[in-house]
């Protein structure tokens, strides 16, 4: 059973953002500090990926573990709510199916994707290594060098 009234729940759910989320901002700040330059939410690419690098034909999707159901069994954020379980399962499966369709479409257009999950963003050193391995050297020198 939900612990808040329907009007409060509606207000809470409507405040969930799809762009410029905290996990996305963490990744963007790190990329920028490393000297990478990128475009955001390109509408001409399937799924409007969070971050794109046109010259490298690479995209990064920063996904929330709950909304996109992180498949890692160690992730505690990817649980389905106990109330209205069937509705939530259907809703979240729709998100997963859409993510898979978009990833396939990007691949068919010659783009390479990296998916970063919300729970993976706490270790900045590990994140930096993953980003540099995926992207290669930046096209712009970072300011701190």
Tell me whether residue 50 is in a domain: yes
**Domain of residue 131, residue span:** 19-135
pLDDT, tens digit (0-9, with 9 covering 90-100), for 100-122: 999 999 999 999 999 999 999 99
Q: How many domains does the chain fold into?
A: 1
Tell me whether residue 9 is in a domain: no
pLDDT, tens digit (0-9, with 9 covering 90-100), for 61-108: 999 999 999 999 999 999 998 888 999 999 999 999 999 999 999 999
More confident residue, 140 or 130: 130
In sequence order, the β-bridge partners of residue 112 are 58
Tell me whether residue 35 is in a domain: yes
pLDDT, tens digit (0-9, with 9 covering 90-100), for 122-134: 999 999 999 999 9
Tell me whether residue 8 is in a domain: no
Contact indicator for 72, 118 with CB cutoff of 8 Å: no
Question: In this structure, what CATH number is given to the domain that contains residue 99?
Answer: 3.40.960.10
* Amino acid 3: pLDDT: 80
Tell me whether residue 57 is in a domain: yes
Tell me whether residue 82 is in a domain: yes
Tell me whether residue 13 is in a domain: no
């Amino acid at each position: 059973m939900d612990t808040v009234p329907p009007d409060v729940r509606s207000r809470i759910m409507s405040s969930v953002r799809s762009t410029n989320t905290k996990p996305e901002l963490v990744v963007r700040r790190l990329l920028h500090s490393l000297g990478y330059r990128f475009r955001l939410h390109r509408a001409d690419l399937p799924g409007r990926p969070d971050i794109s690098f046109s010259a490298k034909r690479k995209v990064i999707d920063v996904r929330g573990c709950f909304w996109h159901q992180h498949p890692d069994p160690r992730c505690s954020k990817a649980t389905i709510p106990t109330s209205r379980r069937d509705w939530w399962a259907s809703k979240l499966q729709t998100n997963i199916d859409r993510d898979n369709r978009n990833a396939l479409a990007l691949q068919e257009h010659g783009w390479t994707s990296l998916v970063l999950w919300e729970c993976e963003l706490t270790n900045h050193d590990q994140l930096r290594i993953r980003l540099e391995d995926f992207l290669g050297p930046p096209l712009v020198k970072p300011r701190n060098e």
